[in-house]
Structure 1
């Protein structure tokens, strides 16, 4: 383990190299390290130490990166919180993680920028908890994925080798930094090589292209929805994208036609990858230089083993369908305070993804289905149970089911079906208002259908395939 991405392990030759910038700030590697030490002193004065957790609830900006590194400087972990969360959603993550300090828009201005030199030498061990990344599950309550520094270091090494990141690279970060994808692929991987990073607070198609023209990045990572917006721009919107040597697409399935359209319009290769938070981000990716297979998410990344497993636990031959399973030093330690969920996901030594896939004769993976009942909206994972819990809490609702409805821009959107409790009438507007009060905007159903009764399968469970078919037919 090298931990070259940490400021206190950087070579002296990096000191004056451009490190990170956003719309407000531009820092060299030396200046970034000073900001980290100053913030760490600030955290230490507020009780943060080894084993603590710091919650960082900020939009994309340099201070978010400083806060994560400052926690690590003290031997603490960071849990990045979606800044658009409602108080209920944020409160659960902050409480469940045991965070002793929250850095948000109200106190980020208090972070000092000049260190006083009061910190002892950093002690960063492979087994130290680095990140608590929250992801939902079948219970509907988000749970903390525990990623230690060994996991993070393995992910950086795996991705860095696969995409050949070097000191002359420059990443344009546009994905939200509460996602491990943005943290690992866009932030930590270039930091490990002395490359530079430019942070965008949000995505706007025209502004994004203007940023490529002015900043001259060599790569970026995004989700299918972003690429759909870019190729949908009017033909007269032109931009010089010749600095970009490749781009990465992940987080949700994308049709091969989208990849062809991006490459035709902008001239750089677009490679598709696959992974999940429990694997510290990515486990497969089509090669930047080499054979890319449309419709697949590529072969296993260096240092990882990706296989397909039958229900009886045996690995199946190439060409056969089964659950995608993963091994490698990037696989999480487990779920925080959830031993049963950890055993279910990791118990046999493999990370069980819940996705159904097929490996071809060259080891390229094709995702063909999902075991888990998950909706992917523009790269955001949404778990229906969390939304169903909110709907079920309404006294006039007897049953509720949430499924993904097809959408030309986002791939899938949230659609809800409910039936009324006896002697009650469902007030759709009131029910949607309840959702807006308790859920992030992307989780609020775009449509809510009231049925006399929800369809059931032969064993009496709500028949979600029938509901999805109803939407597809519509």
Structure 2
């Protein structure tokens, strides 16, 4: 990298277009969008933002479902030197208001289905609402009618994205990600990609760091790769698109596997599907194996990362997957597993996972205390319990804050959850701790069952007793219609802990 502008995301996107030329790049709801078409729209939209008064460093919130305009607006904002601030469209009004206020956003861009929500939330805030097409907001087409804007120079240290964490344990924090950090993470993901995959399907929200990284990684791909984009994930629509476009690769969070396994997969030709990446939360081994059994052409590869590391820490090496592991650390992420004193532990021992390197965030937005707590001596402490094996493969055991201490024994919820979903009638499971005066914390399980199952709580307890130790099995079980999830599709343990006992 010879200059500070060489790794700005805008420069990286321009270099990709120069290298690969014009081509079908993105399919969305009935048609292909060409690479030059998308780039030209971004150049004009950047001019529209500048004309609107958006300046370098300004934050602009994107509250949009997946569509080509998400990519166009993001590229336009980076071209104008502004900061993309994605917000999941599943956020509540209060959560969206917090993002707008905390980020100091000057504008918010939305799509018609969310225009009422955004205008209602932004009514008392000094932000311009773009999109919606209902006469109350500035049309996105008006921005796109401006003259093309040249690139506002940005260096690797400049802020590119302000992305708010899920906030399951309190108010969400803005994670400041630089051009250089995202660029390093995208390059690492591209390096780990399977070379014979040329058609991918993006069904993760682009407002999630995982979905965002998939887009940035495309800047580094050496060959033309085409992307099929879903507005949002639905299992039946996913299966139809795989068949229609002969999709070879996609990326899921674990809850998506569960929903797909409820579909008649054998009735569809999914033989083109070679690789399914999983991230965002631990994937039970049984779920991965069941998916591979029913889609024999596909290999499931689990990776690991978090918002604070530009989404990526480790990935499975091509051709050397180790099921149950999240792979090996990628370039740009130095990883250690350490004890409470900060000393690295030997292979096989458990400890906290910590990371440093160019993929690391700049810090939490306007929160030096939280940053200092999370980043110590240059290392970001993930809060995850993990272990390395003798060959350098990383395993994520659980979240430190989720560990249940029962009678002095550490109980990792994931261990119990994996044992529960091994039951053929249990489709999903979540385990939390409940304060108990006798044992300190009691293990409580919530499970959903497959259609037609008659499983009772006592049956679940007996199954667990056969598969985990006496210290771990749940004494209290609830069969529920659905496991609550956060906006980024992780188990909402905070909501489960708040549930009254029945």
Question: Aligned-pair distance for 1:98?
Answer: 1.1
What does 1:89-168 correspond to in 2, within 5 Å?
89-105=95-111, 106=115, 107-108=130-131, 109=133, 110-112=139-141, 116-136=146-166, 140-164=170-194
Moved more, 260-269 or 67-76: 260-269
Question: Aligned-pair distance for 1:200?
Answer: 0.4
* Selected match of 1:243 from 272, 284, 307: 272
Other-structure match for 1:177: 206
Distance, in Å, in 1 between the alignment partners of 2:49 and 2:306 is 30
Residues 409 and 62 of structure 1: CA distance in aligned 2, closer, same or farther (over 3 Å): farther
Question: Aligned-pair distance for 1:170?
Answer: 2.2
Distance, in Å, in 1 between the alignment partners of 2:449 and 2:253 is 11
Confirm or deny: 8 A CA contact 1:162 1:302 kept in the other structure.
no
1:56 partner SS: strand
Deviation track 1:42-99 (CA, whole Å, cap 9, x = no partner) reads: 2112211211111000011111111111110101111101112222110100111111
* Selected match of 1:202 from 224, 232, 236: 232
Question: Aligned-pair distance for 1:141?
Answer: 0.9
Residues 302 and 240 of structure 1: CA distance in aligned 2, closer, same or farther (over 3 Å): farther
Matched, 1:256 2:285: yes
Deviation track 1:167-211 (CA, whole Å, cap 9, x = no partner) reads: x622201111111100102x2212432422221012222221110
Confirm or deny: 8 A CA contact 1:324 1:357 kept in the other structure.
yes
Matched, 1:16 2:7: no
TM-score when normalising by structure 1: 0.77
Q: Can you give the 5+ residue segments of structure 2 that lack an aligned partner in the other structure?
A: 116-129, 134-138, 404-412, 418-429, 433-440, 451-483
Distance, in Å, in 2 between the alignment partners of 1:445 and 1:315 is 34
Query: What do you get for the CA RMSD once the two structures are aligned?
Result: 3.1
Other-structure match for 1:463: none
TM-score when normalising by structure 2: 0.73
Matched, 1:361 2:390: yes
Distance, in Å, in 1 between the alignment partners of 2:368 and 2:328 is 31
Other-structure match for 1:31: 37
Q: Can you give the 5+ residue segments of structure 1 that lack an aligned partner in the other structure?
A: 385-400, 411-435, 452-473
Other-structure match for 1:289: 319
Matched, 1:57 2:86: no
Distance, in Å, in 2 between the alignment partners of 1:5 and 1:217 is 27
2:329 partner SS: coil
Matched, 1:192 2:225: no
Confirm or deny: 8 A CA contact 1:86 1:440 kept in the other structure.
no
Confirm or deny: 8 A CA contact 2:185 2:359 kept in the other structure.
yes
Other-structure match for 1:45: 51
Distance, in Å, in 1 between the alignment partners of 2:444 and 2:163 is 24
Question: Aligned-pair distance for 1:139?
Answer: 6.2
Other-structure match for 1:71: 77
Confirm or deny: 8 A CA contact 1:190 1:196 kept in the other structure.
no
Question: Aligned-pair distance for 1:4?
Answer: 8.4
Residues 165 and 147 of structure 1: CA distance in aligned 2, closer, same or farther (over 3 Å): farther
Other-structure match for 2:447: 407
Distance, in Å, in 2 between the alignment partners of 1:214 and 1:368 is 38
Count matched residues.
Answer: 399
Other-structure match for 2:407: none
Confirm or deny: 8 A CA contact 2:67 2:231 kept in the other structure.
yes
Distance, in Å, in 1 between the alignment partners of 2:264 and 2:359 is 41
Confirm or deny: 8 A CA contact 1:22 1:198 kept in the other structure.
yes
Question: Aligned-pair distance for 1:5?
Answer: 5.8
Confirm or deny: 8 A CA contact 1:170 1:190 kept in the other structure.
no
